[in-house]
Structure 1
Amino acid sequence: MKTPAICLAVLALLLALPMAQAQNDAAQVTVQTVSYSDPQLQKFAEAYRSIVILSREYAPRLKAAADIQEAEALNREAQGKMIAAIEQAGLSKDEYQQIANSLRSDPALLERVNKLLQQGQVPQQ
């Protein structure tokens, strides 16, 4: 997977998870550089890979939903599974979102995560 594609996928992922709390927190905090350990980033990459798989699983189901209620139910189900995948990787939802938000403003961090993702390659369908 090429680096720009990973960047776009990561940014798209940020929109897939509920961000209301993260947006409120971001408004109260000034921009600061946060340092993440390699194990933290490895957990993030693992969670990201799981979320990509879940996104690929749920995208056609959401598209085929009969009505808005079914789509909302599928969306809630997918988000629940995504949060579970994050927690199974060893991060909280807030930790995951913090790292994901940091990727937007820290090119060096984004490059570190891209390298981890390339080492494990997100499965193709």
Structure 2
Amino acid sequence: MKKLTALFLAMFMLTGLSLQAMAQQQNSQQQQGAQQQQGMQQQQMDMDFSDEDLEKFVEVQPALEEIREDFTQRLEEAEGQEAANKLQQEAGQLMVEAVEEGGLDVDTYNNIAMALQSNEELRERVDGMM
């Protein structure tokens, strides 16, 4: 479970999303029909990953974890918001490069990470590969 927590933190740094931005996005959805359609698309997306993509996803985790650990420490020591923003951008770029070097595009990586949050079966498949 600790690995998945680190994985989710890396995903949020990678995409530049914050939990607050995600909550705002969810709150902005006004129509229940749109939410149902999104839920159906999410369920469909949850099962659309090949074993090869999931293996690549798992294989890139150590590199992302190393970047996350390095930049977490550096962010704690950053002096000022501008320095912190620069470090976050640098970390995000390194994570993008790590994902792409691992053979995945960022969208596929993010889709897998998002699907892991809502699909227990997929989580178990990924856990089995770790």
When normalised by structure 1's length, the TM-score is: 0.77
Picking from 20, 35, 43, the partner of 1:32 is 43
Bigger CA radius of gyration: 2
Q: Deviations over 1:40-96 (max 9, x none)?
A: 111101222211110011111111001111111111000000000000011111000
1:13 and 2:10 correspond: yes
1:110 and 2:107 correspond: no
Unaligned 5+ runs, structure 1:
118-125
Give the residue type in structure 2 aligned to 1:5.
Answer: K
**Structure 2 counterparts to residues 40-59 of structure 1, below 5 A:** 40-59=53-72
Corresponding position of 1:99: 112
C-alpha distance in 1 between matches for 2:84 and 2:42: 36
**Structure 2 counterparts to residues 81-96 of structure 1, below 5 A:** 81-96=94-109
When normalised by structure 2's length, the TM-score is: 0.74
Unaligned 5+ runs, structure 2:
26-34
Bigger helix fraction: 2
Deviation of residue 103 (structure 1)?
Answer: 0.4
Deviation of residue 7 (structure 1)?
Answer: 2.8
**Farther off after superposition, 29-38 or 53-62:** 29-38
C-alpha distance in 1 between matches for 2:91 and 2:75: 10
C-alpha distance in 1 between matches for 2:113 and 2:78: 29
Deviation of residue 31 (structure 1)?
Answer: 2.7
CA distance 1:68–1:19, shift in 2 (3 Å): closer
C-alpha distance in 1 between matches for 2:9 and 2:15: 12
C-alpha distance in 2 between matches for 1:76 and 1:10: 18
